[in-house]
Structure 1
Amino acid sequence: MIPSNGQKQGLPSPHVLSNLPESVIDEILMRLPLRDAVRTSILSKKWRYNWCRLPQLKLDQTLWKTVEDLISPTIGFTNVLCHLLTLHTGPITKFTLDIPDLKSCPNIHHLIYFLSRYDIQHFVLKPPLGDQYKLPSSFFTCLQLRHLTLHRCLIRSPPLFKGFDRLIGLELIEVRISSKLVGSLISHCPLLEHLVLENDKFSDLIEFSAPKLRSFFFIGNINFLHLKNVPLLSKVSYKPTSFFLEAERDLAEIFESIPALENLCWNQDYVEADYVGQAEVIPTRLPSSLNCLKRLCLSWVILGEFVVLSFALCLIRSSPNLEEIEIEVCVLRDEIYYEPVPRDAVDEIPASFSNMTFNHLRTVKIYNVAGTEAEMQLIKVLLAKSPALVRMLIKPRRMKDKKSLKVLAEITNFPRASSKAHVVYNVD
């Protein structure tokens, strides 16, 4: 190309890549997948071993998978791991091992020992599917860890292990660990702020103290969960696999230990339970109001089930300072319930909110609305009791056009406490 001034433009120097500052080279390599970062070693002599000092590494099957797949995945992984352990120099702050598709991988313990010598701070381990991988003793010497994610592992800590005193984030997913040990592990991470527990195999009480904890995601039997000291916990997501109440006090105990709760997501999708008789032990309101709760999300709630409707209404009534409500309704195709909502319970919904006003509620979203009486009463109450409401989004369940229009017409005529309330009836 000849510039407009008629002079030839010189080509870039062939040594331009070699002359880049090392900090710039490192930034480039950090943004590449590890396989591509290694390939940059052919660019110049200066680039040959730059990948060997990368502080963040991710090993997955893309590193050894070929079009022909001539090499066994396990052999491919072993070769990559051998080169890494031999050539890498400098600190490793973050390491991700994601190899669920391998049938077996006998060299993981060598890798963990290698990382323990490099003061690893962020470790993600997703071992092969199948038998759970038992963590070696060297894992418990990674005392600089700040973020830890484990999938499908077996944890048995040595007797002298006192916990990770610098850990900020912990995620244990399908990990085999005793209830006592998981409670002790969490309690001995004094700086822990983010916690994920996904395990429906716990069969005993899980009790822990986490004074710095701010967010908690839990899948499992909620009846076994006891939070002792979580004064800062504000964001909670529960997906209980079992939810059985024997007395009114049972429900109160779930929430009394979370005084700073601001954001609650409750998903009923995983619950397998016989609900008969449990509605009787759900109070109209919790003994202590959830005064800090601003956002409430209820997913997969079967409002045709008496206990589920009672539970949802109890949470809403117990949260006077809500700013946003999101409800995903589940309607059973056969509409056969353990204990259907009795007519008098539906009629009592407006009266149960008679002394309440949601002065801060601005947004309401309700999905899969079928136009049942319980749903319509709840929508009517929220419109009538929310003077600051700005938007209510209603997405109906697939239904015949005439019924959908009838539901829309009925909602349109509901009185509204807010002159600014805009009701959006979203039909796909």
Structure 2
Amino acid sequence: MLPEGKRLGCQSVPPVTISNLPDNVIDVILMCLPLRDAVRTSILSKKWRYVWSRLPELTLDQTLWETTKDFISPTIKFTNIIYHILTLHSGPIMKFTLSIPNLGNCPKFDNLMYFLSKNDIQDLVLYLPNENPYSYKLPSSFFTCLRMRHLALENCLLHPPPDFNGFDRLVSLELYEVTITSKLLESLVNRSPLLERLVLRGLYIQDHIQVNAANLSCFKFTGSIKSISFKNVPLLEELLLWDTTPSENAGESDIAKWFDSCHALEYLHVNHGVVQSLAAGAGEVLTKLPCAFNCLRRLRLSDISLRELDEVSGAFCLIRSSPYLHDMEIKVFNDDDGEIPALDSLEGFKDVTFNHLRTVKLEGITGTKLEIQLIKLLLVKSPVLVRMQIEPGLGDNSPQTRLKLLVELIKFRRASTEAEVVYNLDYDTV
């Protein structure tokens, strides 16, 4: 309210300028800008001069080089930037991101890592150059960042000093194409009691690792590993296992036992390498896993060949072990039916009933006999199915072929009167 005796038309309102903005507002503005533009704000006014140097979050990415008027090499630029950060920045750096794939070798990075270790770094993202993978060895100062809560590394070598005891405050850990021993990896995970998210991509582990993480809710692995055992993961809800290049010794382990402790699992995504190994490791074709996935609601199976009996058997083993499954996605690996009779690989699963299955998504469908049999099986065995989505794959994708398949789909018997089958004739497979 206006003071007594003041008229609205005569009230003097101080002008709002960039110079009288509160410090916390200025910080928010600068953190929304690329670092290059944040530094340039120093010319706006005396109050704004070097304000960027107190920011708790810094990002060095490709935007620093996105200009056509500057022909200075990235390495020289990076060196200059690091120099300014080391000499001008004051206060803690809570979050630091480095993502410059074409940087090349930079001798100043060790100095930067030492600087970050002394400034309470809690969130660190290092996507290092991929021209020479695994060439950069993280300095010893990296292993003294004991306040670290979020860590993401790419293209580097981890070799800690003997007295390193892990990051006990770590909440999320992401390693992409990182060189690390199985012993160190296991130690990092098991010595992080607060760890909730673990992502490992492009790792090649020839030994066994044991995951003991009481707070872990998400685990994603892509690469090659001999075996994994989940000792204590009561909160694990999301699991992705993508064995792109199976280890030569993978068959020696019983993959069925990998899931023994995953009682809370709600989403599972595996590819053909994992389901194929279900039979190889156990030495027989499993009908069900020893422990059922009673909490599993979503299942995704990728690159499954319907010609391969062990892949189909492994896939249905997971499906049989998930009695309360709601959503299922299967991406089919397309190949010729050859000499294999269409019904042989699915004949043994006629007793399966998907009592809770509501949505199905099938990718890569070209209309082979085995694919048609799979579609029929899912439709006739899913009494509460609401929607089946079919996406065509590579092969004979002529309009005539797709229309012929669509006509067949309309005729298939369905256990659910509410089931809708969606097939896109114009689906782009490129």
Q: Pick the TM interval, shorter chain.
A: 0.7 to 0.9
Contact in 2 for aligned 1:65/1:73 (Cα 8 Å): no
1:145 maps onto 2:148 in alignment: yes
Distance in structure 2 (CA, Å) of the matches to 1:261 and 1:95:
33
TM normalised by structure 2 equals 0.87
Q: Residue 406 of structure 1 aligns with which residue?
A: 404
Distance 2:325 2:301 in 1: 13
Counterparts of 1:407 and 1:279 in 2: how far apart (Å)?
A: 38
* Cα distance between partner residues in 1 of 2:350 and 2:207: 38
CA distance in 2, matches of 1:410, 1:98: 51
Query: TM-score scaled to structure 1, two decimals?
Result: 0.88
Distance 1:310 1:222, change over 3 A: farther
Write out aligned runs for 1:62-141 (5 A): 62-64=63-65, 66-129=67-130, 130=132, 131-141=134-144
- Matched ranges for 1:145-294 at <5 A: 145-243=148-246, 246=251, 250-268=254-272, 281-294=284-297
RMSD (Å), alpha carbons: 2.9
Q: 1:15 to 1:255 in 2, by over 3 A?
A: closer
Is this contact kept in 1: 2:147–2:169, CA < 8 A? yes
CA contact (8 A) 2:207 2:225 kept: no
- What is the SS of the residue equivalent to 1:205? strand
Closer, same or farther in 2 for the Cα pair 1:55/1:229, shift >3 Å? Answer: same
Tell me how far apart the structure 2 counterparts of residues 324 and 274 of structure 1 sit (CA, whole Å).
23
Cα-to-partner distance string for 1:114-152 (whole Å, 9 max, x where unaligned)? 111111110001122315211111111111110000111
Partner of 2:385: 389
Asked if residue 425 in structure 1 is aligned to residue 423 in structure 2, the reply is yes
1:310-336 deviation per Cα after TM superposition (whole angstroms, max 9, x unaligned): 22222222211111011111213xx38
Q: 2:365 aligns with which of 348, 357, 369?
A: 369
The superposition leaves residues 227-265 of structure 1 with CA deviations (integer Å, 9 ceiling, x where unpaired) of 222121110111102458758x82321222322111011
Q: Which residue is equivalent to 1:357? A: 353
Q: Does the aligned pair in 2 maintain the 1:296–1:324 contact within 8 Å?
A: yes
Q: Distance in 2 between matches of 1:16 and 1:150?
A: 41
Change in 2 beyond 3 A, CA 1:280/1:183: closer
Does structure 2 retain, via aligned residues, the 8 Å contact 1:55–1:94? yes
Q: Quick check: 218-227 or 155-164, which moved more?
A: 218-227
Is the 2:227–2:255 Cα contact (8 Å) retained in structure 1? no
1:239 is aligned with what amino acid?
W
**1:27 corresponds to which residue?**
28
**Partner SS, residue 205 of structure 2:** coil
Partners of 1:344 and 1:390 lie apart in 2 by 26
**Cα drift, residue 70 of structure 1:** 3.0
Instruction: Tell me by how many angstroms 1:33 deviates.
Output: 0.8
Which stretch shows the higher mean deviation, 275-284 or 156-165? 275-284
Cα distance in 1, alignment partners of residues 315 and 423 from structure 2: 22
Q: Percent identity?
A: 53
C-alpha contact 2:152 2:175 (8 A) present in aligned 1: yes
Show structure 1 runs of 5+ residues with no match. 1-11
Contact 1:125 1:150 in 2 (8 A): yes
Cα offsets for 1:81-128 (capped at 9, x unmatched)? 101111111221110011220221111111111111111110001122
| Separation in structure 1 between the aligned mates of residue 337 and residue 372 of structure 2, nearest angstrom | 20
Distance in 2 between the 1:279 and 1:403 partners?
41
Farther-moved stretch of structure 1 (59-68 vs 382-391): 59-68
Residue in structure 1 matching 2:301, options 269, 292, 298: 298
Partner Cα separation in structure 1 for residue 407 and residue 282 of structure 2: 32
**Distance in 2 of aligned mates of 1:369 and 1:280:** 31
1:235–1:263 Cα contact (<8 Å) kept: yes
Which stretches of structure 1, 4 residues or longer, exceed 6 Å deviation after superposition? 12-15, 273-280
Which whole-Å CA distance do the structure 2 matches of 1:30 and 1:42 have between them? 17
Q: How many equivalent pairs are there?
A: 411
What is the one-letter code of the residue matched to 1:393? Q
- Pair 317,376 (structure 1): closer, same or farther in 2 beyond 3 Å: farther
2:255 alignment partner AA: L
**Given residue 325 of structure 2, which amino acid in structure 1 is its aligned partner?**
L
AA aligned opposite 2:357: L
CA–CA separation in structure 2 for the residues paired with 1:275 and 1:156: 34
Q: Deviations over 1:325-355 (max 9, x none)?
A: 11111213xx388xx7555624614xx242x
